[in-house]
Amino acid sequence: MLKTLFVRALSGAVFAFLMLGSIFWHPYALAALLFLLTGLGLHEFYRLFADTGFLRKNNTGVFLGLVVYSLLTAFAFSWLNSIAVLLILPLFFLLFIVELYQKSERPFQQIALQLLGIIYVAIPFGLYHFINVYPVGTIDHFQPWILVGIFLLIWSNDTFAYLFGSTLGKHRLFERISPKKSWEGTIGGGLSTFGIAWILGSYTQTLTPGTWVILAAIIVPTAIFGDLVESMLKRSLNVKDSGSIMPGHGGVLDRFDAANFALPFIVFFLYLLA
């Protein structure tokens, strides 16, 4: 038990060091790290379906997903204009053309799952740069504390939900999908996240305290739904973890389930303000 906790803690510390270090260092460092994580996450996603027979093993989805991630990143860095990002649309339809030349009994299942991987994995990872370089095009004046603060809110929500749930949890939140989650843990995690959001707004000199509190109000439910969706995916495929790259935590999808699901909602809100 102690060994398992130590491995989990060490793995989590290494992960946090890599993420936070790359964010504070430079947007290019984060871009390189997320490119790697995008590829690993796509590989995990498609392998899960391939191992259960739902998807034919190939690298088309991984390749297109990395292209989509790169296009979003290039736009955030002002290397491409918004018109060039529309290249994503014909890229999606290339999957239909590729499937014409495959001998598959369920071609549209193949197309759907590959598109789902890009939407679920590649696009959220690309959106991190819309926050790290906020607003897009200001790479020389990036504010790392915005993205770091968002990660802190997501991690604190998960951590305090676990602490409150393990000590006070009696009423199940969504027992069919995640038997261990409780309303007590959810409420405790949410209240703690709101408190940390106010602190971030008061001391980081980035966004106003009110904006940080609104971000917390977005993060608390979307991060929970992200975790539940990932649990639903794994339960439907009868697997425990999406991968094993992070000892004690599982795979890339396991570690980013909450953050990646929350990102589109966060980006939408921030750019309403921009």
pLDDT at residue 177, rounded to an integer = 83
pLDDT at residue 26, rounded to an integer = 92
Between the CA of residue 57 and those of 33, 42, 74, 78, 122, what are the distances in Å?
Answer: 25, 12, 29, 35, 18
> How far apart are alpha carbons 49 and 249 in whole angstroms?
20
DSSP-H helix ranges across the chain: 2-25, 27-51, 60-76, 82-85, 88-100, 107-117, 123-132, 144-168, 183-203, 209-237, 252-273
pLDDT at residue 117, rounded to an integer = 96
DSSP state of 102: S
pLDDT at residue 1, rounded to an integer = 55
> How far apart are alpha carbons 77 and 236 in whole angstroms?
38
Cβ atoms within 10 Å of 130's Cβ, excluding its own: 23
Between the CA of residue 112 and those of 88, 92, 106, 116, 181, what are the distances in Å?
Answer: 16, 10, 10, 6, 30
Peptide bond into 209 cis (omega under 30): no
pLDDT at residue 5, rounded to an integer = 64
pLDDT at residue 192, rounded to an integer = 95
- CA neighbor of 156 nearest in space, from 124, 127, 202, 188: 188
3-class secondary structure, 24:
helix
pLDDT at residue 4, rounded to an integer = 61
Helix axes 60-76, 27-51, angle to 10 degrees: 160
pLDDT at residue 170, rounded to an integer = 82
The pTM for the full model equals 0.92
Between the CA of residue 243 and those of 72, 116, 161, 168, 254, what are the distances in Å?
Answer: 26, 18, 24, 31, 8
Strand partners, 246: 250
> How far apart are alpha carbons 94 and 60 in whole angstroms?
10
Strand partners, 178: 174
Per domain, the residue ranges of the chain are 2-273
Per-residue pLDDT of the chain (274 residues; tens, 9 = 90+): 555 666 677 777 888 899 999 999 999 999 999 999 999 999 999 999 999 889 988 889 999 999 999 999 999 998 988 888 899 999 999 999 999 998 888 999 999 999 999 999 999 999 999 999 988 877 777 889 999 999 999 999 998 998 888 888 787 888 888 878 888 899 999 999 999 999 999 998 889 999 999 999 999 999 999 999 999 999 999 998 887 777 666 889 999 999 999 999 999 999 998 6
